[in-house]
Structure 1
Amino acid sequence: MAGYLTTHVLDTARGCPAQGIQIALYRVSGNSHKKIATAETNADGRTDAPILPEGKFAVGTYELIFFCGDYLRATGQTADDPLFLDQVPIRFGVSDGAAHYHVPLLLSPYGYSTYRGS
């Protein structure tokens, strides 16, 4: 079985999935970042397909960047300029190329958290 990567965004301030957040995935090697995928969250706060599917998934270091600013403005959660949180980067390592990695973002206007989900 080949591994794959999924993600989703939950708006913890409003208690619901965060729809319409743009996400970029980068492969990181030293100081080099190579964009390898983009996606947008759907009504369930998830991407419609794995952001890194089987066949493209490999051991290494990755970074997800969640472009949260437009979502926070659109939902009326912040009037600050500049925003406290606009782009949220999560850098993580993949050590098992055959596993399912799930890296969610729990978001509010002034804080976030993540974990390795299932």
Structure 2
Amino acid sequence: MERYLTSALGFLSGAWKWLAICLAVAVLAFVKGCNHGRSIEQAAQARAAGVARDLADQSAGQSAQDRETDRQAAGQAQKGRDDAIRNANDTGRPGAASNALNCERLRQAGRDVSGLPACGGRAD
């Protein structure tokens, strides 16, 4: 046993330069591998951020289109109501179209129109 220990120590004392070089190469390979893994993770995060940004841009564009469509529909509805009022025969009394429009506005505002005769309520 002593002879093996002596021969192993003799080998190590003569080959310490090679062992140091091998250890240095192993450390460098480990560090390079860690950096490579970190680069892969950063690239994956960058891709995920790009996909999220594209999705947010598409969503914002769709929302803008929806708002514009709603704005146009509301404008057309208002124009139709205004035209109906303007085209009604003015006899000094509010016409049926004007009453209906005003009743609808009151309903949309959350008012109770069940007591108003012009809105189809009680005529007490």
Q: Same fold judged by TM-score > 0.5?
A: no
Q: Which has the larger radius of gyration?
A: 2
TM-score w.r.t. length of structure 2? 0.20
Higher strand share: 1
Q: TM-score, normalised by structure 1?
A: 0.20
Higher RCO, 1 vs 2 (CA within 8 Å, ≥6 residues apart): 1
Quick check: which one's helix share is greater? 2
